Amino acid sequence: MDSIGTGIVGAGLSAKIFHAPFVQNNKNFTLLKFLRSGSNNSVEGYETIPVTTNRKEFLETKNLDLVIITSPSSTHFEICDYFLKNNKNVVIEKPFTISFKESQVLIDTAKKFNLILAVYHNRIFDGDFITLENLIQRKILGNIVELESNLERFRNIPKVNSWRESDEPGSGILYDIGSHLIHQCIYLFGKPKSVFSILSNQRKFENVNSIDYFKIVLKFKNEENLIVTLKSSMLAKIPGPRFTLHGEKGSFTFSGIDPQEPQLRNKICKVGDENFGVFSDYGHLKYEVDGKDIEDVNFKITNGNYGLFYSNVYDAIISKNQSLLKVKVEDAALVIK
């Protein structure tokens, strides 16, 4: 297989920012076509790539091996089921599906047809998360007792024509942001043994009842002393730290966001450029060694790279080995559960 022929379902932000740039930057993939609804106009930034509004025509694209689904969450199950049953490997945007049952059906279908099914939980490839994971693995802070993970912003006006802020299934920040934060914790610590949550609609926009605030507290079977708190809000003019990590020997905190999305959105640089994924913010690390404090207020954050997701998908597809995926579909399903 010279390269994996790839098609993208959808032509919105997710397709243009989180998928197409990384597919095109990887020599092991060839972007063949977009399938979009409503209009067969070319996709901004990808004018040379053919577009169709016809699913059958898209399916029959020559050398199509992989379908990437970036459509609204409520459509994930039906579209993914269709392409799996037509013998295509699938990458599906998070959240995996609307219900745990739907996730299980898709996992079983992929196994039946011996296809690769991958869920795009790209935030395990955020640089700040990679840094956090490395600190935990190296035991620099000792046994971890608390992790706080926040993704907050301020937007007190409705986002026009956004399904994410509608009342349709799969909308709201619990599915949007919460799925990322929950998956990161499952990736680090395994299956939670208990969950406590507060969900709210704080902005009270007319005719919009979707969740725009959550706070989730998790305990884990394998980490008896660990408490994890996840939080997201749309009314945080001063956002809290992205990560706060406490252990028996020290603490780490980081405020800021991974730069990959804003760099691509604002056309600051392209995937593969020297400065792509490079952080301008630093972390704050303080820990004990032999009873003495060591402190670094300019702790370097590892560069992020969402392209690693597709490198991993390529390895799984060419070897036909689902177990090679770093984002386990079972974990993505557990997020929904």
Q: Are residues 13 and 109 in the same domain?
A: yes
- 28 lies in which domain range? 4-122+307-336
The answer to whether residues 136 and 203 belong to one domain is: yes
Q: Are residues 280 and 178 in the same domain?
A: yes
- Residue 337, CA atoms < 13 Å, CB-side half-sphere: 15
Residues 202 and 57 placed together within one structural domain of the fold: no
pLDDT of residue 161: 63
3-class SS of residue 253: strand
Q: What is the DSSP letter of 140?
A: T
Which amino acid makes up residue 287?
Answer: Y
> Do residues 184 and 149 lie in contact, with contact meaning Cβ atoms separated by under 8 Å?
yes
Q: Do 248 and 197 lie in a common domain?
A: yes
Residue 8 sits in a domain whose CATH number is: 3.40.50.720
Q: Are residues 97 and 21 in the same domain?
A: yes
> Order of strands across the sheet with 64-69?
51-52, 29-35, 4-9, 64-69, 89-93, 117-120
- Say whether both 269 and 203 belong to one domain: yes
96: left (phi over 0), alpha (psi -120 to 50) or beta: alpha
**Is there a single domain that holds both residue 206 and residue 318?**
no
- Give the span between the Cα atoms of 291 and 297, in whole angstroms: 19
CATH of the domain at 175: 3.30.360.10
Please give the pLDDT value at position 162. Answer: 66
The verdict on 130 and 42 lying in the same domain is no
Counting runs of H as helices and runs of E as strands, what totals does the chain give? 11, 14
Residues 245 and 100 in one domain: no
How many domains in the chain?
Answer: 2
Give the pLDDT of residue 233.
Answer: 94
Element at 200 (helix H, strand E): strand 192-200
Question: Mean pLDDT of residues grouped by 10 in the chain (337 residues)?
Answer: 92 95 97 90 93 96 98 95 98 96 98 98 98 97 97 83 67 90 97 94 79 94 92 94 98 96 94 95 96 95 97 98 98 96
Write the pLDDT tens digit of every residue in 112-135: 999 999 999 999 999 999 999 999
pLDDT in tens, 274-321: 999 999 999 999 999 998 999 999 999 999 999 999 999 999 999 999
Is residue 118 located within the same domain as residue 150? Answer: no
Structure tokens at 15: 């397709």
- Answer whether 208's CB lies under 8 Å from 129's CB: no
State whether 41 and 158 are in the same domain. Answer: no
